[in-house]
Amino acid sequence: MSENSIEKKWYVVRAVSGQENKIKTYIENEISRLGLGDFVEQVLVPTERVIQIRNGKKVHKEKVFFPGYIMIQANLSGEIPHIIKSITNVIGFLGETKGGDPVPLRQSEVNRMLGKVDELALQTDSNVAIPFIKGETVKVIDGPFNGFDGTIEKINEEKRKLEVMVKIFGRKTPLELSYMQVEKV
């Protein structure tokens, strides 16, 4: 059977909070041990990068933003739901009725959850929509000019950089910033 002939949907596995990454690894190991890789496309723990200041230094930390939930793209046929549910610290699937089948996420929910992940993974696919437009006002959220508002002058899609005109001490100054360093106002 080829990869694509098995239809896979996204499901949410409920897990013990704080153990998400461990459980993700367990699931992946178990699936490969049993040779079920064709049925399970990917296991994702949605995280966001948060910047914390520790001892005056910026520390990037991955923070799980749906504690207790793991996303899994799979075809849950046969024994697969049972295998996943029997993994340590897995509570079960989201949306399942008692004894019923796990309920897949709607595409819109998947997009919302993955949309969050994609912004963070900063995918470099050429077809990723550019989230900004020229002339738009943005707020700088990272770097020395944190907190300043500016206007987008240029957008460099390849490098995912913006040239933002910021008023600093009454003078307009162009800054080159990455998409991640600004947010829409």
- What are the beta bridge partners of residue 92? 14
Q: What is the distance between the alpha carbons of residues 66 and 47, in angstroms, rounded to a whole number?
A: 8
* pLDDT given for residue 103 in this prediction: 86
Same domain for 100 and 142?
no
Phi, psi (5° rounding) for residue 47?
A: -130, 160
Q: What is the distance between the alpha carbons of residues 100 and 95, in angstroms, rounded to a whole number?
A: 9
- In this predicted structure, the answer to whether residue 92 has a pLDDT above a threshold of 80 is yes
Share of the chain above pLDDT 90, in %: 38
Does 132 fall in a domain? no
Q: Could you tell me the pLDDT band of residue 133, with boundaries at 50, 70 and 90? A: confident
Q: What is the distance between the alpha carbons of residues 72 and 142, in angstroms, rounded to a whole number?
A: 32
Interior angle at CA 73, CA 13 and CA 78, nearest 5: 80
Same domain for 115 and 178?
no
Q: What is the distance between the alpha carbons of residues 79 and 92, in angstroms, rounded to a whole number?
A: 14
* pLDDT given for residue 125 in this prediction: 44
* pLDDT given for residue 124 in this prediction: 43
Give per-residue pLDDT as tens, 2-14: 445 678 999 999 9
Same domain for 89 and 33?
yes
- In this predicted structure, the answer to whether residue 119 has a pLDDT above a threshold of 80 is no
The CATH number of whichever domain residue 174 belongs to comes to 2.30.30.30
- In this predicted structure, the answer to whether residue 138 has a pLDDT above a threshold of 70 is yes
* pLDDT given for residue 97 in this prediction: 66
Same domain for 37 and 85?
yes
| Residue 103 domain boundaries | 3-121
* pLDDT given for residue 42 in this prediction: 92
* pLDDT given for residue 126 in this prediction: 42
Does 126 fall in a domain? no
Same domain for 117 and 167?
no
pTM to 2 decimals?
0.56
- In this predicted structure, the answer to whether residue 111 has a pLDDT above a threshold of 80 is no
Sequence letter at residue 129: A
Same domain for 92 and 159?
no
Same domain for 91 and 162?
no
Mean pLDDT to the nearest integer, 123-130: 49
Q: Could you tell me the pLDDT band of residue 16, with boundaries at 50, 70 and 90? A: very high
Mean pLDDT to the nearest integer, 158-185: 87
Q: What is the distance between the alpha carbons of residues 127 and 119, in angstroms, rounded to a whole number?
A: 14
Phi, psi (5° rounding) for residue 5?
A: -75, -15
Does 82 fall in a domain? yes
Same domain for 86 and 16?
yes
Same domain for 39 and 83?
yes
